[in-house]
Amino acid sequence: MRWFRRPSPEYINLTHPETRAARDRIPKDLWNKCANCDAIVLKKDFEASLAVCPSCGRHERIPAHTRIQQLTDPGTFQEMNAGLVATDPLEFEDKRKYAEHLEATRKKTGLNDALVMGRARMADMPVSLAVMDFFFMGGSMGSVLGEKVARTMELSLAERIPCITVTSTGGARMQEGILSLMQMAKTSILCAKMQEERIPFISVLADPSTAGVMASFASLGDVIIAEPGAYVGFAGKRVIEQTIKQPLPPHFQTSEFQREHGFVDMVVHRKELRRTLVRILAMLTGQPSPVLPEDKNGAAEEVPIEVKST
Ligand SMILES: [Zn+2]
């Protein structure tokens, strides 16, 4: 009797036609592979864990509508200004025409620009909400995105309701040149107005939150919350290293680094984000901390809100 035998070629040859055919029969959208730890998780389990890797805790980027669903009371979100569409005033062209790039991205994502805004309720408290979508041209801030952020803040000012923004962006949209940079001033002025009018403004930083957006409204929240491991900063690490000619620490420009240095108030796991926002909203609007419907089954565990004083 042979104890060891060579496995038949079908089992080891990954390029064998039968193996390839078997692999192709597995639906592509059945599982998710973590880009950090390579853990493979069934898509439905991954979605149930709010797109956070159950193995290493990596917070995957999520589309704006998924984020809104995770944060707001079911059925309360009313989208506004969804029809705003960018024009191409500079007739910009690099590898392809900006207008064509926009059109293709619109078709791919089903969105008109990289931000979804509107009003919603969280634990029955009214809020205005602006959520960025990184899958639309890297969440870049052009004139439409800036205008939508401004309108979100104007809604808060008009109705005296708190404002929440969730950013996930590479910064200003280069294809719109100076017009996209002007959005920094426009949104920052409205942040100052909200402060004058004592309207609470919470800024949530998801991966990545950088450049022109970070240098304007995203860093001007009364409370700034970041998701674990998110890339948060202005310029890229490599650019800074080359400029100052010094090595930087490995976790430079992560949420955790920014929290240690007082730029971010809290780093909150995605599964705690809604609950944390609700408690802060209640605190800032002088209401008792509400019990969320999902916590009524005894799942609630009080996580202390710890804000680092700066
Ligand atoms: Zn992982």
Number of domains in the chain: 2
What six digits make up the tokens of 185? Answer: 């001033």
Computed over every residue of the chain, the mean pLDDT equals 89
Whether 44 and 114 share a structural domain: no
Whether 36 and 105 share a structural domain: no
Closest to 166 in 3D by CA, of 211, 224, 121: 224
Give domain status of residue 21, yes or no.
Answer: yes
Beta-ladder partners of 26:
none
As a dihedral over the C-alpha atoms of residue 209, residue 188, residue 161, residue 75, rounded to 10 degrees, the angle is -40
Any residues with CB less than 8 A from the CB of 173 and at least 6 apart, and which?
A: 137, 140, 141, 142, 145, 180
Q: What is the mean pLDDT of each run of 10 residues along the chain (310 residues)?
A: 60 65 72 89 92 94 96 95 90 90 94 95 96 95 95 97 96 91 95 96 96 94 96 88 90 93 95 95 89 66 52
Whether 71 and 170 share a structural domain: yes
Whether 238 and 177 share a structural domain: yes
Domain hosting residue 54, numbered range: 14-58
As residues whose CB is below 5 A from the ion ligand 1, the structure lists 34, 36-37, 39, 53, 55-56, 58
Whether 188 and 78 share a structural domain: yes
Whether 92 and 228 share a structural domain: yes
In single-letter form, the type of residue at position 254 comes to T
Tell me: the pLDDT tens digits for 181-227?
A: 999 999 999 999 999 999 999 999 999 999 999 999 999 999 999 99
Residue 310's pLDDT is 44
User: Measured in Å, how far apart are the chain's first and last C-alpha atoms?
Assistant: 74
Whether 28 and 85 share a structural domain: no
Whether 44 and 68 share a structural domain: no
Residue 89's pLDDT is 86
Residue 13's pLDDT is 59
Give domain status of residue 76, yes or no.
Answer: yes
Give domain status of residue 6, yes or no.
Answer: no
Predicted TM-score (pTM) of the model is 0.86
120 and 68 Cβ atoms separated by less than 8 Å: yes
Distance CA 218, CA 165 (A): 8
Ligand 1 centroid, distance to 164 Cα (angstroms) = 28
Ligand 1 centroid, distance to 193 Cα (angstroms) = 41
Whether 112 and 190 share a structural domain: yes
